[in-house]
Structure 1
Amino acid sequence: MTGSGLALAARELVGVPFRLHGRDPRSGLDCIGVLEAACSACGITTRLPARYTLRSRRLPPLADIAARLGLFETHGQPEPGDVLFVQPGPCQQHLMIATGPCRFVHAHAGLRRVVEGPLPAGWAVSRHWRPLP
């Protein structure tokens, strides 16, 4: 899986409806579903966690998820295909896939669809991963 391939696969999901715990682009995706579907389009088939709430004090097993997808932790300017774990608010966690240094694809619960745009102001980046070269 290349970063540019993951970014292109994520971009293909823009417009898919939002659905909490959604894992099928035909019926809807949440942020983890976007990552799972984009990875699947790149030939990486895995089932990511599906039992969680929108707000939680407990983080999912991030290192395990990243390892299963062939991602390594990094820092700095996002590149296409990088996966960011962000905190939109207190006790909220969210995943985004970079399509460029300042653009990201993610499932937006408020807009009820997968969107592409800049990192919203105030969303703190907790973890930053990149596909292995």
Structure 2
Amino acid sequence: MIGARFRPQGCDPATGLDCVGLVWAAYAATGRRLSRPHAYPLRGWSEARIVAALQTAGFARDEGRVAMGDVALIALPAGQFHLGLLGGETMVHAHAGLRRVVEAPLDDAARTAVRWRLD
């Protein structure tokens, strides 16, 4: 999905993805169909609502060692949140500024993010 265009509320790699759509599409590509949140805002989505969406989909907070496919919940300035898929020393995420899905080296925000893993 790297290189797919960024699209708010996007959930299909062919037409575009946002950070939520990327996570759900990546798991769907592995055969895991998850309950996906709908009508969420690009900004201003509360942490409680994001956590509830992750839990509804079957994710549990994980404090152990980072595993490929863990979901990082990153708290950004001004109360904004972002999701990304962790792997080794990189994170795949839908980058709004670059307008596409990218793989980037882990930064401090990703390394210290709350991680979620499917039960």
With structure 1 as the length reference, what TM-score do the two structures score?
0.75
Q: Mind listing any 5+ residue stretches in structure 2 that lack a counterpart?
A: none
CA 45–87 in structure 1, closer or farther in 2 if over 3 Å, else same: same
Quick check: which one's strand share is greater? 2
CA 63–87 in structure 1, closer or farther in 2 if over 3 Å, else same: closer
User: 1:32, CA displacement in angstroms?
Assistant: 0.5
Q: Mind listing any 5+ residue stretches in structure 1 that lack a counterpart?
A: 1-12
Structure 1 CA distance for aligned equivalents of residues 50 and 99 of structure 2: 25
Counterpart in 1 of 2:103? 116
Q: The residue matched to 2:20 in structure 1 has which SS?
A: helix
Identity value in percent: 37
Counterpart in 1 of 2:94? 107
The residue type paired with residue 118 of structure 1 is P
Q: The residue matched to 2:2 in structure 1 has which SS?
A: coil
Structure 2 CA distance for aligned equivalents of residues 21 and 48 of structure 1: 11
Alignment of 1:1-133 (within 5 A): 13-56=1-44, 58-59=46-47, 61-100=49-88, 102-122=89-109, 125=112, 127-132=114-119
CA 103–77 in structure 1, closer or farther in 2 if over 3 Å, else same: farther
The answer (yes or no) to whether the contact 1:96–1:105 under 8 Å persists in 2 is: yes
Structure 1 CA distance for aligned equivalents of residues 72 and 31 of structure 2: 20
Worse-superposed segment, 36-45 or 106-115: 36-45
Structure 1 CA distance for aligned equivalents of residues 65 and 34 of structure 2: 27
Number of paired residues?
119
Structure 1 CA distance for aligned equivalents of residues 85 and 38 of structure 2: 18
Structure 1 CA distance for aligned equivalents of residues 96 and 29 of structure 2: 23
Structure 2 CA distance for aligned equivalents of residues 123 and 116 of structure 1: 12
CA RMSD of aligned residues (A): 2.3
